[in-house]
Amino acid sequence: MADTFSTEQRSQIMRSVKSTRNRSTEQKLITFFKENKISGWRRNSKLFGKPDFVFPKNRIIIFADGCFWHGHDCRNTKPKDNETYWKTKIEKNQTRDKFVTKVLLEKGWEVIRIWECLLKDVSYLISVLEKLQQTIKYSQPQQSLH
């Protein structure tokens, strides 16, 4: 299928995609957190790997990974033009993702990675919500009844 944009237009579109405040990933999660009254998260953390969301009290990190940029096979995300460049770029991103996750796990953080395509799946988001609630509930000190 031919691209509907010229090479220069496509390049401009790709350059405009930013790694923060992305509507297709981070903004959807913010909406989900607010709708479900999930609090305690922070943005723009200085932690290794630049996580999208950090729950510092519970030592939980969430990355909202774009399917194209991180190489998810959920749909046709394999560009035909400049194929070698994109394959190399996405492989480097995946290698970095694995390394970042490994380092953060070794430092005692729980790491959750959510694919962009799964942000549309309400049952999946509910399972993430339940995991967050369970972790947050059990990680808080038990209060004495005395």
- Domain of 41, CATH number, reads 3.40.960.10
Domain, as residue range, for 27: 19-135
pLDDT at 143: 40
Residue found by looking up tokens 């519970």 in the block: 58
CA distance readout (Å), 88 to 85, 94, 106, 113: 5, 10, 27, 21
Domain-located, residue 107: yes
Domain-located, residue 120: yes
The Cα angle at residue 66 between residues 22 and 102, in degrees rounded to 5: 110
> Within 10 Å of residue 78's Cβ, how many Cβ atoms?
12
Domain-located, residue 141: no
Domains held by the chain: number: 1
Look up residue 112 and give its two tokens. Answer: 């959750």
DSSP helix/strand/coil, 115? strand
Look up the pTM and report it.
0.74
pLDDT in tens, the chain (146 residues): 456 667 677 566 655 555 554 566 888 889 888 888 888 899 989 999 999 999 998 899 999 998 888 988 887 667 778 888 888 999 999 999 999 999 999 999 999 999 998 888 888 888 887 877 777 655 544 443 33
Contact in structure between 54 and 60 (CB atoms under 8 Å): yes
One-letter amino acid of 22: N
Domain-located, residue 143: no
Domain-located, residue 53: yes
User: What one-character DSSP code corresponds to residue 75?
Assistant: S
Contact in structure between 53 and 62 (CB atoms under 8 Å): yes
Domain-located, residue 121: yes
